[in-house]
Structure 1
Amino acid sequence: MKLIKPLFYSLLLLSSALLNAAEDSNTETAPSTDTASKPTAQNERIEPSPEQQRQADLALAQNSETEVIWLEKDGEQWLALYQSAVAAEAHGSIIIFPDQATSADWPGLIHPLRTQLTEHGWNTLAITLPQPPQRGIPARTLPTLQNRNQVQESATPASETVTGTEAEASQNSSSTVSDANTSTEAADTYALKVLELAASASNQLKDKGSQFEVVLGVGEGANWAVSYFMQDETRADRALMIINPTIASSTSTPNLLSMISELKTPVLDLWSDPDLSNRSYAKQRLRAAKRSGNNGYRQIRLNQRLNDPRRMPLWLTKQVRGILKTNILDRKPTPDIAAEPVELTPGS
Structure 2
Amino acid sequence: MKFLPAACLLMSLWAGTPQAGGSQRELDYADYLRQTVVMGQGIWLGEGGQSFFALLTEAEKSDHGRAVLLLHDMGEHPDQQPVMHGLRVVLPQHNWTTLSIQLPVREAGAGRADYYGLFDEAHGRIQTAVGYLRKIGAKDIAVVGHGMGAAMAAYSLSLDPNGLAALALVSLAVPDSSLPQAQTGQFIKNIALPILDLYAEFDLSEVVDTARRRRMLGKDNPVYRQVRINGENHAFAQDPNLLIKRIYSWLALSLGPN
**TM exceeding 0.5:** yes
Aligned to 2:200: 272
Aligned to 2:15: none
The one-letter amino acid of 2:194's match is P
Call closer, same or farther: CA 1:234–1:112 in 2, change over 3 Å: closer
Higher fraction of helix = 1
For the pair shown, which has the larger CA radius of gyration, 1 or 2? 1
The one-letter amino acid of 1:220's match is M
Say yes or no: does 1:197 pair with 2:125. Answer: yes
Secondary structure of the equivalent of 2:201?
Answer: coil
Call closer, same or farther: CA 1:327–1:295 in 2, change over 3 Å: same
Is this contact kept in 1: 2:171–2:203, CA < 8 A?
Answer: no
Say yes or no: does 1:298 pair with 2:198. Answer: no
Q: How high is the sequence identity, in percent, across the aligned residues? A: 25
Say yes or no: does 1:257 pair with 2:232. Answer: no
Call closer, same or farther: CA 1:209–1:203 in 2, change over 3 Å: same
1:51 to 23, 26, 34: 26
Say yes or no: does 1:282 pair with 2:211. Answer: yes
The gaps in structure 1 that reach 5 residues or longer are: 1-47, 135-182, 333-348
Question: How far 1:75 moved relative to its partner?
Answer: 1.4
Is this contact kept in 2: 1:224–1:254, CA < 8 A?
Answer: no
Aligned to 1:321: 248
TM-score (norm 2): 0.75
Say yes or no: does 1:62 pair with 2:37. Answer: yes
Is this contact kept in 2: 1:261–1:288, CA < 8 A?
Answer: yes
The one-letter amino acid of 2:222's match is N
Aligned to 1:243: 170
Aligned to 1:213: 141
Question: How far 1:123 moved relative to its partner?
Answer: 0.4
Aligned length: 226
Is this contact kept in 2: 1:73–1:193, CA < 8 A?
Answer: no
**Distance in 2 of aligned mates of 1:327 and 1:92:** 13
**Distance in 2 of aligned mates of 1:100 and 1:305:** 18
Superposed CA deviations along residues 134-171 of structure 1, whole A, max 9, x for unmatched, are 9xxxxxxxxxxxxxxxxxxxxxxxxxxxxxxxxxxxxx
Question: How far 1:112 moved relative to its partner?
Answer: 0.4
Question: How far 1:81 moved relative to its partner?
Answer: 0.6
1:127 to 96, 101, 119: 101
How does 1:28-47 map onto structure 2 within 5 Å? none
TM-score (norm 1): 0.57
**Distance in 2 of aligned mates of 1:328 and 1:106:** 26
The one-letter amino acid of 1:263's match is I
Say yes or no: does 1:115 pair with 2:89. Answer: yes
Aligned to 1:14: none
Question: How far 1:245 moved relative to its partner?
Answer: 1.3
The one-letter amino acid of 2:26's match is E
Is this contact kept in 2: 1:94–1:215, CA < 8 A?
Answer: yes
The one-letter amino acid of 1:207's match is K
**Distance in 2 of aligned mates of 1:115 and 1:76:** 27
**Distance in 2 of aligned mates of 1:130 and 1:276:** 22
Call closer, same or farther: CA 1:72–1:206 in 2, change over 3 Å: same
Question: How far 1:275 moved relative to its partner?
Answer: 4.6
**Distance in 1 of aligned mates of 2:68 and 2:160:** 17
The one-letter amino acid of 2:124's match is E
Superposed CA deviations along residues 180-217 of structure 1, whole A, max 9, x for unmatched, are xxx9xx93xx4332111111111221121111100111
**Distance in 1 of aligned mates of 2:142 and 2:231:** 23
The one-letter amino acid of 1:60's match is Q
Question: How far 1:127 moved relative to its partner?
Answer: 0.8
Question: How far 1:276 moved relative to its partner?
Answer: 7.3
Secondary structure of the equivalent of 2:139?
Answer: coil
**Distance in 2 of aligned mates of 1:200 and 1:275:** 31
Aligned to 2:3: none
Superposed CA deviations along residues 323-344 of structure 1, whole A, max 9, x for unmatched, are 21122225x9xxxxxxxxxxxx
The gaps in structure 2 that reach 5 residues or longer are: 1-22, 109-113
**Distance in 2 of aligned mates of 1:203 and 1:109:** 24
How does 1:74-93 map onto structure 2 within 5 Å? 75-89=49-63, 92-93=66-67
